[in-house]
Amino acid sequence: MAVLNKIRQRSLILILVIALALFSFVIGDLFKNSDALIGSAQDVVATINGKDINRTDFQQKVKNYQDRSGGRQTSTQSMNAIYNQELRKIVLQSEFDELGLSVEKDEMRDLLKTSFSSYPEFQDENGTFDVNRLNAFIGNLKDLKGETAPLGNFLVNYDSWTNNEQTIAANAVQQTYYNMIKAGVGTTIAEAEDDYLGDAKTLDMRYVQVPYTSIADSLVEVTKSDINAYMKAHEDKFKADASREVVYVEFKEVASKADEDKIKADLLALKSDKIEYNESSKNSDTIPGFDTVTDIAEFVNSYSDIKYDNTFWRAAQLPATAKDTLIKLNVGDYYGPYKEGEFFNLSKVIATKQMADSVKVRHILIPYAGGQRADASVTRTLEEAKVTADSILAKIKSGTRFMDLLELSSDKVSNEKDGELEFAYNAGMASEFKAFSFDNKRGDVDVVGTSFGYHVIEILEQKSFSKTIQVATIADKIEPSEQTLSDVFNKMSKFEIAAKGADFNELAKESKLTVKPITFKELDENIPGLGSQREVVRWAFEDDTDVGEFKNFPISNFGFIVAKVVEKKEKGLMNVEDASITAIPEIRKEKKAKMIRDKIKATTIDEISKNQGQSARTAAAVTLKNTTLSGAGVEPKVVGAAFGLAEGATSKLIDGEKGVYVVEVTKINEATKLDNYSAIMNRLSTERRNAVQNKVYQALEKAADIEDNRAKTVY
């Protein structure tokens, strides 16, 4: 109490201290994130051609997208999808605005007519589209103030209708835009003729190749300045986004051997009865164990992580690790504990019986509206379908032949075979249908409900009987104990503390941990083996995270990692080390080509062949479209140069893909010109027009002014 009184006496001071602490925290955060001080675009996901994508609107669209995907998309995948949608919309709209493209009122009505003319709601008594009914429907939606109204098989409100109108209009403008571009895309007669000659005109030639491999790589020096010069000459090849290289070690929260031994011991302990003291009665009660309990289902469900299943199983349906043993057991016998996936199981055979492996049945299917595969003509409700099926069953039981009622069945395929179906126990049939067919006896007939409707089923035949067993299995999930979790956390904490003054790799080696490297970009999310880990990516890209810094991260359903930043690469050209992988082979090739050129003094193929110790080769029927030289491989430059020579002429030295060449054209096989190139012109025009849409958008996106803030605002 004395302490509490002192605190009360100093409450004003405490409040002031707390207020100052909070103030310093907020101010510190503001200075850390200077954008907040200057009112920067923390609420702007991106700015594209001067138009902002608002953060709040963007996140709502992401949420809607995720809802529609049913959780199949991660948040980052959803954000990327919506960003690409918004980017495309804004980039194209910039073009539409500049060209003055839009949809006017009359055109919008025509578009709506095209989209909705088949809807009965907008048709008059003659089945003709009635614009007045469309207007009345839209007006009614507006009056409903957000409430929905039926349209076909959907429910719509005024907002969803206007959004749909906007989509229809946007698609129409986009189509107009692309049609305008496609109208200007075509093929000339000269282009069609060149395309034809690319296959039809051939030539035969002799050539000599001095391969680059004739000079050892060790004789060609490539310096950093060579690589820098090559990078500048080929900048597009070496542009790179900002990236971070991180290494990490894992601390997995997995059950220890002691944990597994305890799980197995606990399972075995469930077999025997146990004595428990009852506080209420002041007596000791006997709690039945697996050996003596009478209500098997309740017992299993009380202790197992997997609910009781009373199915009779064939050998092939039992767990792979236990099937050979289980199928041989007698009633009352146990097997286990044995490991199956993430569980230790203790199984007891409850019953055995002989069951068919295949059956033949016949059925009458009565579907209902909304049932699986029910067509539009089906109008009866689920309840009405049940009543109909029950009445058919009553007729059969009163003496009416099953065959005489088949016309009532909607399963036209089986009707062609007298309603009969023959299938094995592992066939892909509705589970309720299959259960009735195998669990009952030949001659039994009853009504069975499935997702397709109600079936009146009669069992005609059961074949190939084999042993099945009913097994009660108590499954205990293999999970680490509290002690193990504590040990993992302590091990991780000790590693992180020790890493402050030690070499990360050496420390990991001493701790028998594997160091795993990963390189990622600012908008990436996945780490191999760990899944979506945006927190790690965000931390690595924070301005105040320097090379050499490390941090621990909890990983859901895994444990922890300790990650360390080992390299930061900013956007721009690659560094020399990374670029060298691609650049050095090409630079070597250029230098070798010069060295080969310098030592070739002869001008004819035979002389060069003799002087350089290389065989002269021939290539026949070479075409411009197929640039593969027999004995040399794909050499487009060499083939292109050959087609520029006259018959009998010899080329100068040509730097090819695999060596330096000299070619001599021995024969030109001219192609017979066509009387009409229309077919080729049409084909090429169609190909070009089909490719226009993607190419145009790619060009517009490349030319757009884009400021992408996703990593700082929503990721």
- Residue pLDDT, tens place only, 294-351: 999 999 999 999 999 988 998 888 988 899 999 999 999 999 999 999 999 999 999 9
Percentage of the chain modeled with pLDDT above 70? 94
The reported pTM is: 0.64
Summarised one tens digit per residue, pLDDT across range 241-275 is: 999 999 999 999 999 999 999 999 999 999 999 88
- The per-residue pLDDT for 560 is 97
* Half-sphere exposure of residue 88: CA atoms within 13 angstroms, side-chain side: 14
CATH of domain 202-238+576-669: 3.10.50
Closest CA to 89 of 596, 631, 704: 704
What are 569-589's pLDDT values in tens digits? 998 888 898 899 999 999 999
Please name the helix (run of DSSP H) or strand (run of DSSP E) that holds residue 296, with its range, or none. Answer: helix 296-303
pLDDT in tens, 677-701: 999 999 999 999 999 889 999 999 9
182 three-state secondary structure: helix
The average pLDDT across 450-454 equals: 93
564 touches 549 (CB < 8 A) = yes
Single out the residue of 240, 219, 238, 218 nearest to residue 228, CA to CA.
238
Domains 202-238+576-669 and 256-479 share a fold: yes
Q: Which residues contact 131 (CB under 8 A, 6 or more apart)?
A: 109, 113
- Give yes or no for a contact between 549 and 543, defined as CB atoms under 8 angstroms apart: no
pLDDT in tens, 99-119: 999 998 888 888 988 988 888
For the chain, how far is it from start to end, CA to CA, in angstroms?
49
> Which residue, 564, 560, 556, is CA-closest to 532?
556
Q: Name the DSSP class of 520.
A: E
The confidence band for 72, taking pLDDT boundaries of 50, 70 and 90, is: confident
Question: Could you tell me whether strands 706-708 and 239-240 are parallel, antiparallel, or unpaired per DSSP bridges?
Answer: unpaired
For residue 464, which phi and psi values (nearest 5 degrees)?
A: 55, 70
Separation between Cα atoms, residue 399 and residue 409, nearest integer Å: 18
The CATH class given to the 256-479 domain equals alpha beta
Cβ-contact 440, 335 below 8 angstroms? no
pLDDT band for 378, please (50, 70, 90 cuts).
confident
Would you put residue 180 in left (φ > 0), alpha (ψ -120 to 50) or beta?
alpha
Quickly name the fold that domain 243-254+481-570 has: Chitinase A; domain 3 (3.10.50)
Burial of 337 (0-12, 13-18, 19+ CB in 10 A): buried
Q: How far is 335 from 472, CA to CA, in rounded Å?
A: 11
Domain-wise residue ranges, the chain: 1-40, 41-100+184-200+676-715, 101-183, 202-238+576-669, 243-254+481-570, 256-479
Does the structure show a pLDDT above 90 at 532?
no
Average pLDDT, the chain: 89
Report pLDDT for 490. Answer: 96
pLDDT score of 654 more than 70: yes
Distance CA 595, CA 587 (A): 12
Q: Which pLDDT band holds residue 35 (cuts at 50, 70, 90)? A: very low
Q: What is the pLDDT of residues 308-324, one digit of tens each?
A: 998 899 888 898 889 99
Annotate 51-71 with b (16+ C-beta within 10 A) or e (fewer). ebbebeebbebbeebbeeeee
705: which residues sit within 8 A by CB, 6+ positions away?
47, 48, 49, 50
Q: How far apart are CA 387 and CA 169, in angstroms?
A: 49
